[in-house]
Structure 1
Amino acid sequence: MYILKKMTQEQAEDIANNWHYNDEYSFYDMEADKEDLVEFLDSEQRGESMFVVMAGEDVIGYFYFNRVDKETIDIGLGMKPNLTGVGKGVEFLKAGLDFAKHTYNPDQITLSVATFNHRAIKVYKKVGFEEVQTFMQTTNGGCFEFLKMTYQCVL
């Protein structure tokens, strides 16, 4: 069972400094995008929107929740590198979706994912996200293709 708790400064610094992904997934390392890193490490900019996912005493991931409008929450997420690609994604994602539904009561949840990240897209589809559109975004020192996906909430 996973529990979401507001992210502390110490947890943000640990994630930013110590979570490093292999191969093309290094795209998701915090230091890959300096602007995102500054925001992630600034407690005022994180505000009340960033949560760690706990399994017992261990931080295994995080979620960012951004209210787009009355009906929509946009999420960002990250899982501890040594836990990715080993079949834990669905349970992890469902914990974040349940938290979002009960905390924010949205009609829909959206996210954006780099199109090369096939394993994440597979997890998102498995829990009910649907593809909306692709778009180009400048980030991490280049311009990359992303897929916007949406999940319709049912409480």
Structure 2
Amino acid sequence: MTHHFTVLTQRQAETIAYTWHYEGDYAFYNLEADEDDLAEFIDAEQRGQSVFAVTSDGELVGFVSVMRPDAETVDIGLGMKPSLTGNGSGRAFVTSILDFVKATYAPHRITLSVAAFNVRAIRVYEACGFEQTGSFQQPTNGSTFTFIQMERQESPQNQSF
């Protein structure tokens, strides 16, 4: 599956925010579950040029947000369309995001945070070369949750230019 990346449009943001609903424990990732997250995601000014739609064959299949906390690091946050999760396509999805980030930003390090209960995603990230570096407590969705910090070092041989 070939993925394409473009700056997320308002229509795409609203589609994700209001129609992408995950089941069971993963409902934690429904944007409507946290008013602050929802407001930030649907506000085009706050998103700026740092949130990208991931499409395949013209279909919106995911998104990735990119932050540059320093000149050597890119921090990502991502989401995959609910109907595509849990079917073995996560590694290809994350790999395409990593290729995009490396080609666009050439970071020395890529970081992300993931809810500790999301063992499925943690396994995918580890298979893509991320290592756990710590954890923290984050108030969100009306409670406080543990998040795992993960990091992937980018050496010259990992660069795909």
Structure 1 position 33, deviation (Å): 1.2
Deviations 1:110-137 (A, max 9, x none): 0000000000000000010000001111
What secondary structure is seen at the aligned counterpart in 1 of 2:21? Answer: coil
- Aligned counterpart, 2:99: 98
Which residue identity lines up with residue 38 of structure 1 in the other structure? Answer: A
Cα deviations by residue, 1:46-83 (Å, 9 ceiling, x for unpaired)? 00100011111100000000001000010000000010
Number of residue pairs matched?
A: 155
Structure 2 counterpart of 1:147: 148
- Long gaps (5+) in structure 1: none
Residue in structure 1 matched with residue 110 of structure 2 by the alignment: 109
Deviation of 1:88 (Å): 0.5
Deviations 1:10-29 (A, max 9, x none): 00001101000000000000
For 1:135, the aligned partner's letter is F
Give yes or no for the alignment of 1:70 onto 2:71.
yes
| Partner amino acid, structure 2, of 1:149 | M
**Percent identity, aligned pairs only?**
51
Cα distance in 2 for residues equivalent to 1:4 and 1:88: 17
In structure 2, what is the Cα distance between the partners aligned to 1:33 and 1:65? 20
Taking the aligned partners of 1:90 and 1:2, their CA distance within structure 2 comes to: 13
For 1:25, give the aligned amino acid: Y
**In the alignment, which residue of structure 1 is the partner of 2:45?**
44
After superposition, the CA RMSD in angstroms is 0.6
State the AA in 2 paired with 1:123: V
TM-score scaled by structure 2?
0.95
Q: Does residue 1:30 correspond to 2:31, yes or no?
A: yes
Unaligned runs of 5+ in 2: none
Aligned partner of 2:85 in structure 1 is 84
1:12 is matched with 13
The DSSP-based 3-state class of the residue aligned with 1:68 is strand
